[in-house]
Chain A
Amino acid sequence: MTTKKWLVLAGLVIILAVLVLILFNGGEREKIKHETELSSPNAPSAPRETAGTRMITLFFLSEDDDLLHPEEREVPAGPTLTDDLETTVVELIKGSAKDLIPPFPPETKVRQIFVTKDGVAYVDLTKEVMENFAYGSSSEMAAVYALVDTLAVNFKNVKKVSLLIEGGERETLGGHIDLSRPLSPQYSLIAK
């Protein structure tokens, strides 16, 4: 019995080692490819990818100033761009692991995300994003640009972001920032 157990365990270890080797090598190739793809002059930091996961940079407001501060996070990767976008927005809504300020009400859910050929990411959120915060100009700008800048920095395919709520267009989140046109990133809002 014990010998059998050991044999099974040894077999598993070998299989695991082979798998790790394959994945690691695959990951290496992927990583190099990814970094060249993402070397955009505008992006403060290009995300790196390791096997099965990818590093993303989320942007949050801090108590110190009115700027957006980066926070790196390792998240499951793929398989599709849409999955990566969704993971990123979900992580952004979850909020900071440090003491940075969450941009949206944490109850907000992602309904759907898609990217058009000309680089507009449509991010469809549930109504909690409007109803659970009483936005002022500053908090509305922080919310909108945390999302727009996060997606533009992490995804080279995303040039602009359009925010939808419950599947439809809204003028604003709380009476301030115009959502009727796709928003360009504001890199000037990112802390140096």
Chain B
Amino acid sequence: METKVSLRVQQAAFKSDLIESVGWSRGKESYAFSINLRRKDFSFEHKVRANPFELTIDLKSADEPGEIAPPVREAAMAETPGDATALPPVVRPAGAQEPRKFWTIVVDPGHGGLETGAKGKFGALEKDITLAISLKLRDIVEKNQAFRVFLTRDKDTDVSLENRSALANNHKADLFISVHANGSMRKNARGSETYFLSLNATDEESRRLAYMENTSSVLEAQIEPENQDDVKMILWDLAQSAYLKQSSLLAEKIQAGLNELLGTLDRGVKQAPFKVLTGVACPAVLVETAFISNPEEEKDLGSEEFQDNVARAIYLSLVEYFKSYS
């Protein structure tokens, strides 16, 4: 009789001083689940629960005899003062080996190069506005030592949508923010809105993703070894599906920030299958700052003051996000 093995693999990227990586492989008659550690001085306990089967492994480094250290991000956030503009301190919470030094933010200026994006009546191009705002956003965020910023482009060049998400994943980004200016065929369309991904998955993918959503960033893989590479690729392609909850929260924060600082019409938080978000393996949003197709807002989008306000609104929102969510 054939036994089917179902593995649930944590897909969310994590950082640990102790654990380097987690993986699994299939031998001739067994499956092996491996945890690669960075150091030798550790101890572990394990608990097994049946129905549903659950194996919990508690790993401790030797120099923390007591409880498992709290997640470093949580500990650091608890110390953050109430003032949103203040820098979250880079402190070493007791018990943690090496606290994380920063969060990595990837800012994605929409379009670029030959791909201009939407156009305004007075000639403004979406690609130029998004770059100007993104550069300002980088400058503000970088002043806070708790953050490290990467841009998917810092000049007027073509960058494929895949490379944008790949850059975020390669830098192990904690947040991905794509900056855009909206365009509509409606003359009156105006206002700001923030998007997170809506899935445009095939039925087979949806089935798997429905499970993932229910188990929150835990992935079920029932994979024949010969198909493993294919399946991994598909899952990578839809990496964002594991972060929809956090992404929606980030979108709420950013939309609230835009509403407070910009004075534009609040078009709210929306979902759509944006290509640039699908492969991003961290919370990710796409911000439509205002309508370049609306002559009044086109003027706004070109002004330093408005661009500064967009950058400040997004910055304050992501500080808020890290405070409320960890």
Contact = CB atoms under 8 A, between A and B. Distances in A.
Contacts of B117: 134-136, 174-175
B292 interface: yes
Interface stretch (A14-22, A27-35, A78-86, A180-188): A180-188
Interface in A152-192: 171-172, 174-184
B43 interface: no
B298 to A, nearest CB: 11
Q: Which 3 A-B pairs have the closest CB atoms?
A: A136-B183, A136-B118, A138-B184
Contacts of A136: 117-118, 126, 180-184, 288, 291-293
Contact of B272 (A134, A135, A137, A184): A137
A189 B198 CA distance: 14
14 contacts: A101-B185, A134-B117, A134-B126, A135-B118, A137-B180, A137-B182, A137-B183, A138-B186, A139-B183, A172-B275, A174-B115, A178-B278, A183-B273, A184-B200
By DSSP majority rule, is chain A's interface helix, strand, loop, or mixed?
Answer: loop
B201 to A, nearest CB: 7
A66 interface: yes
A142 B275 CA distance: 16
Interface string B270-301: 00111110100000001010011100000000
Interface string B256-281: 00000000000000001111101000
Contacts of B272: 137, 141, 176-177
Given A134-B117, A135-B118, A183-B200, A178 B273 contact: yes
Contacts of B292: 136
Contacts of B115: 174-175
Interface string B124-145: 0010000000000000000000
A179 B273 CA distance: 9
Contacts of B18: none
A101 B186 contact: yes
B301 to A, nearest CB: 12
B183 A171 contact: no
Contacts, number: 95
B185 A180 contact: no
Interface stretch (B65-73, B187-195, B317-325): B187-195
A65 to B, nearest CB: 8
B292 to A, nearest CB: 7
Interface string A114-146: 000000000000000000001111110110000
B202 interface: yes
B275 A178 contact: yes
Nearest to A138: B184
Given A134-B116, A136-B117, A137-B182, A177 B126 contact: no
B253 interface: no
B312 interface: no
Contacts of B288: 136-138
A171 B275 CA distance: 7
A177 B118 contact: no
B96 interface: no
A63 B184 contact: no
A61 interface: yes
B184 A181 contact: no
A180 B276 CA distance: 12
Contacts of A62: 186
A137 B201 CA distance: 20
Contacts of A63: 186-188
Contacts of A101: 185-186
Contacts of A66: 184, 186, 189
Contacts of A180: 275
Given A61-B186, A175-B110, A184-B200, A139 B274 contact: no
A142 B184 CA distance: 8
A176 B291 CA distance: 15
Given A66-B186, A101-B186, A181 B119 contact: no
A134 B183 contact: yes
B223 interface: no
B235 to A, nearest CB: 14
Nearest to B205: A181
A172 B273 CA distance: 10
B37 interface: no
Scoring A137, A179, A183 by chain B CB atoms within 10 A of each residue's CB, the highest score goes to: A137
A136 B293 CA distance: 8
B185 A134 contact: no
B167 interface: no
Given A134-B116, A181-B201, A175 B184 contact: no
A25 B181 CA distance: 56
B131 to A, nearest CB: 14
